Structure 1
Amino acid sequence: MINSGELHLKPPFRAEHIGSLLRPPKLVQKRKQFEDKNCTLEELQTSEDEAVAHIVKLQQDVGMKTITDGEMRRATFFEGIFDTLEGMTVLPHRSITSFKQYVPHIGLMYAAGIKEAETIFCNGKIKRAKSFRVNDFKFLKSLVPDEDSKFIKITICSPTWYHQRHGSDLTYDLSVYNNDDEYFDDLGIAYRAEIKELYDLGCRHIQIDDPTFCYFCSDSMISGMEKAGVCHEKLLDTYIRAINACTQDRPEDLTISIHMCRGNFTGGIYFCEGSYDRIATKLFNFLDVDVYYLEYDTERAGDFTPLKHLPANKIVVLGLVTTKNKKLETLEVLHARVNEAVDAMTQGSPIRSRETALNQLCISTQCGFASVWQANPMTEHEEKAKLRVLVEAAQKIWNGN
């Protein structure tokens, strides 16, 4: 059942960032050594511990209230979930023909002439044998005052990630799961167990990172699916159901947010474009989350019109500050963009005042600074400037300072 309680996300959460941050140079060097098999996992983990402590202080110094570990322990944003589950097998060299060409980033792999790629295949019943992010939360919690542990945000990859790559026919062994509902039901059980353990330890904000929903905004993917005989509306419904299987029955004081991404590979490469119009009504009304992080840093996302469909009990975080280049946004532009969003929201249903609409908005970076460890093309100094402008803009817009 969709959560219908009061808004969970309150000031000082008006300025947010997605989660991943630039790895400090020492960690980048150590990660390169590890990837080249020139250092041990233990040595890498020591550097990760130091990097997490550094990045926590960075967030505190710029005035960010929400704290993440910057995903310092991950090579990619989706690492450490599917590869930890029983029933999942890593395939280092799966043929590209098992990947769906209509998916935007997969299409680029085909165009580049890639013949095989690493992926994960489900060949057994899915079980959560160990935690995904619990140890990350425990370490992060040890770095902040007890009263601030409720401000920690943990980010996890969407359950739909590998399914979109391979579709309903090649994601799982059909002798293990007969259909998508069975597959996602067991994934939901695993995710709910993780969410419960995190909550019991004091976590109060979990963000699901989902690159799949924005792909449904892409005309090229929709036409590609139609040519392949795949119903995009049915698959969208399936993915909404998959998320809801993970978030159902959560505690009232646990905020679940979702970040929808258009791609953020090495150097800030993106994979798709298109307005949220095609998916907004379903996502805002049927997806069981409290908060939506939406990319709005370029015209690729369209205008704010889809926000008129936002229900009264949910929040949208406008991703107005880009992480793909070093150009610094101004306070004036950010304020004007928020006003545009407010205008759009007052034109929809439910009918709401400008004050109410503004209360349902926050601002953030459009994506992480480093969804992969190689990161986007900017320095830590430039990253800090981006975070500071978010804090300053939020203070001006919501507090009049």
Structure 2
Amino acid sequence: MSNSSAPKRPSRASHVGSLLRPRYLFDKRKALEAGECLPDDLKPFEDEAIKQVLKLQQDVGIKTVTDGEMRREFFFEGVFDKLEGMTYLPTRPIATFKQYIPHCNMMHAAGIEEAETIYCSGKIKRTRPFYLDEFLYLKSLVPPEDVKHIKLTICSPSWFHQRHGSDLTYDLSVYKNDDEYFDDLAKAYREELRELYDLGCRHIQIDDPTFCYFCNESMIVGMEKAGVDHEALLDTYIRAINVITEGRPDDLIMSLHMCRGNYKGGIHYSEGGYGRIAIKLFNTLDVDVFYLEYDTERAGDFTPLKQLPLGKVVVLGLVTTKNPKLESAQELKARVNEAVEALCQGNLKRSRDVALDQLAISTQCGFASVWEGNPLTEEDQRKKLSVLVETARQLWPDDSY
């Protein structure tokens, strides 16, 4: 665990990571998908788009900035596909995708017979970096004093495991069990984190849809029918992240975003409040910050926040990225005050000031977790980011945003 007892946090107003692709990059990516250009042809368009979305964040006053994931097709791209020991399978039978996993269940229900995935066929090794070049490019665009405010997003180590389970994720002659698999995966992640840190990165966010799946009653029922111990698997996924974050430098913020799905058009896969996992997750997962989705009723109420220990921060994802309806500062402040009340009612008593200090606000998810993005315009996106900053200035007038 990190030795620092004071809460570490991003800026009071932030966004999860991905942003809408500007039209010129959107059109070029569409041309790539149609086979009309090569991947390398995208780079100058991506470079320009990163400059544009960085300026957007700076203009509206958001201090914790990302590159908007402009170079990615999917949010999880750039990790498993770069690891030695991982094999890309363009057509794997749908029977190897666990039906109890919400997004896999949708594929089964749609009658899909096979889908692309990645399978662990050999010992995992990081022989090339994941995102060093991406970080260095964004670093080159900000003043030296702002490099510490760059946030880099990375997919969870459980991403492919959750869809295939403990029996079909890796070759059993290579890894005998999940701990062996995740230990080697964690070593690769730690190598990446160390190099990013040495280059100046001070905030890394793990994007994880899997934990919210454990809040979904239908998945729990499905796992029980399949004979899968869901509590043991939850422990496995917590451990998988803890092995990555252990021994990190005290000034490196590790955050976790828990997602209920954000596919083309903002489609969600899962629902259910955090109550099922709150005690275990908030108290045993070794991260500094939790980005929690709270934009709709399917996320539940703030009661689970009572389990949050001191020294941790929750970023309330109150502004939706799934539609253009604009939230008001007044309603956002009211919801933050509800969250403060929940924190104050926890087993660990705390004052309203302490509770408020443990909070920040953000979008509930990315605007474009896949390159096509959600059904909003760039102007809608700007307005939503602006209202976050406006609200933060009213709630935390002495802070930077």
Mapping of 1:2-21 within 5 angstroms? 5-9=5-9, 13-21=11-19
Mapping of 1:43-192 within 5 angstroms? 43-192=41-190
Q: Is the 8 A contact 1:3 1:290 kept in 2?
A: no
Q: Which sections of structure 2, spanning at least 5 residues, go unmatched?
A: none
Aligned partner of 2:341 in structure 1 is 343
Aligned partner of 1:200 in structure 2 is 198
Q: Is the 8 A contact 1:2 1:287 kept in 2?
A: no
CA distance in 2, matches of 1:3, 1:374: 41
Deviations 1:24-48 (A, max 9, x none): 0000110011112211222111111
Where has structure 1 moved over 6 Å in runs of 4 or more?
none
User: Partner amino acid for 1:333?
Assistant: E
CA distance in 2, matches of 1:193, 1:240: 19
User: Partner amino acid for 1:151?
Assistant: H
Mapping of 1:247-258 within 5 angstroms? 247-258=245-256
Q: Is the 8 A contact 2:2 2:250 kept in 1?
A: no
| Superposed displacement of residue 53, structure 1 | 0.7
Q: Is the 8 A contact 1:91 1:119 kept in 2?
A: yes
Aligned partner of 1:354 in structure 2 is 352
CA gap of 1:54–1:275, structure 2 versus 1, over 3 A, is same
Aligned partner of 1:213 in structure 2 is 211
CA distance in 2, matches of 1:332, 1:138: 38
Deviations 1:157-213 (A, max 9, x none): 000000000000000000000000000000000000000000000000000000000
TM-score by length of 1: 0.98
What SS class does the counterpart of residue 122 from structure 1 fall into? strand
CA distance in 1, matches of 2:202, 2:2: 18
RMSD: 1.0
CA gap of 1:3–1:98, structure 2 versus 1, over 3 A, is farther
CA distance in 1, matches of 2:9, 2:223: 36
Q: Is the 8 A contact 2:99 2:108 kept in 1?
A: yes
CA distance in 2, matches of 1:400, 1:77: 34
User: Partner amino acid for 1:197?
Assistant: E
CA distance in 2, matches of 1:396, 1:377: 29
User: Partner amino acid for 2:175?
Assistant: Y
Residue from 291, 294, 317 that aligns with 2:292: 294
What SS class does the counterpart of residue 399 from structure 1 fall into? coil
User: Partner amino acid for 1:343?
Assistant: E
What SS class does the counterpart of residue 119 from structure 2 fall into? strand
| Superposed displacement of residue 4, structure 1 | 5.0
CA distance in 1, matches of 2:133, 2:204: 15
TM-score by length of 2: 0.98
What SS class does the counterpart of residue 106 from structure 1 fall into? helix
Aligned partner of 2:389 in structure 1 is 391
Aligned partner of 1:39 in structure 2 is 37
Q: Which sections of structure 1, spanning at least 5 residues, go unmatched?
A: none
User: Partner amino acid for 1:71?
Assistant: E
CA distance in 2, matches of 1:300, 1:394: 25
Q: Is the 8 A contact 1:18 1:365 kept in 2?
A: yes
What SS class does the counterpart of residue 155 from structure 1 fall into? strand
| Superposed displacement of residue 2, structure 1 | 5.9
| Superposed displacement of residue 349, structure 1 | 2.2
CA distance in 2, matches of 1:335, 1:53: 31
User: Partner amino acid for 1:137?
Assistant: F
User: Partner amino acid for 2:334?
Assistant: A
Deviations 1:4-23 (A, max 9, x none): 5321226xx10010000000
What SS class does the counterpart of residue 9 from structure 2 fall into? coil
User: Partner amino acid for 2:9?
Assistant: L
Aligned partner of 1:369 in structure 2 is 367
What SS class does the counterpart of residue 18 from structure 2 fall into? coil
| Superposed displacement of residue 3, structure 1 | 5.1
How many residues align? The count is: 399
What SS class does the counterpart of residue 277 from structure 2 fall into? helix
Q: Is the 8 A contact 1:318 1:364 kept in 2?
A: yes
User: Partner amino acid for 2:31?
Assistant: Q
Q: Is the 8 A contact 1:2 1:286 kept in 2?
A: no
Deviations 1:323-368 (A, max 9, x none): 0000000111000000000000000121100110000000000000
